[in-house]
Amino acid sequence: MLSEWTSRLRLHNWPSPELIQEISELPAYLVPVGCKNSKNKHMEWRVCFIGEQKLTSSFTECQYKLYIIFKFLMKEELKSICDEMSSYIVKNIVFWFIESTQQELFSKENMIEHLLSCLQMLQQAIRDNHLPYYMIPGRNLLIERINQLQQQQLIAKLDALIQEGPRVILRCPKVLEALYNMSPTELTKKGHWRDKLEKLWLEWQNIVTNKDEDGKQLLKKDPYFITVTERMYDTVWPLWRLYQKEGILDIVERKIYYALL
């Protein structure tokens, strides 16, 4: 199923041949998830590739920050128009963009320019009602997910965001707060902490995505999953192990949720 993905021509060496080979040898999973508005939704299955985690782990710092800021904008500006505007859509846009861009162009000086390019790519996908799944381009991630009114509203909103140019980044509340309320030292420290938490959260999400209830139960015994989870807990609350009261894990998870807002 990945033959097209592994063999297609790539002009900018991302993913690298070594990473492509590694991903092609990883297992895939069938999950009971159908197309949202399909008449046969209850009978449909979806193939998911855990290799996506390897792809996000290969991001450079600039590419990773591009992904995070793009995700912020999606949540703040587009999610209210259409709930289908998810982080999964963001991830696929970023995958396509990174593959089609010279790797040496990814730098902090060009990051906002790249963000605007990703917004334009998303706008075109919405206009065409077609966003190929990065791993299997024949699968359209937007099929039956956006109605005509939402399509018009999303295109108009994205046009407004693109026209703002670099100032669009100020639409991210966390960025705006940091610019006005933190010293350069505090901002740097907070940025490193946030980067660490975001990477752990992304890693955690990649592990649990599309797992059914039985799969999630099995994860509780997976040493790798346990390590990622505990590192995430340690990041938001280093002393969580000292508390044994019932519901303590719910408290830690709420701390993670609010930290990532």
Instruction: Read off the pLDDT of residues 63-72 as tens digits, 9 standing for 90 and up.
Output: 988 998 999 8
In a domain, 248, yes or no: yes
In the chain, the number of structural domains is 1
In a domain, 250, yes or no: yes
Report whether the peptide linkage leading into residue 17 is cis, meaning its omega lies within 30 degrees of zero: no
Percent of the chain at pLDDT > 70 equals 94
- Predicted confidence at residue 261, as pLDDT, reads 66
Please say whether the beta carbons of 48 and 209 come within 8 A.
Answer: yes
In a domain, 91, yes or no: no
In a domain, 139, yes or no: no
In a domain, 198, yes or no: yes
Please say whether the beta carbons of 71 and 87 come within 8 A.
Answer: yes
pLDDT interval class at 180 (50, 70, 90): low
- d(CA 50, CA 131) in angstroms, rounded, equals 20
The model carries a pTM of 0.72
In a domain, 54, yes or no: no
- d(CA 165, CA 188) in angstroms, rounded, equals 24
In a domain, 202, yes or no: yes
In a domain, 41, yes or no: no
Helix (H, G, I), strand (E, B) or coil at 132: strand
Host domain of residue 227: 182-261
Give mean pLDDT, residues 130-143: 93
- d(CA 157, CA 133) in angstroms, rounded, equals 23
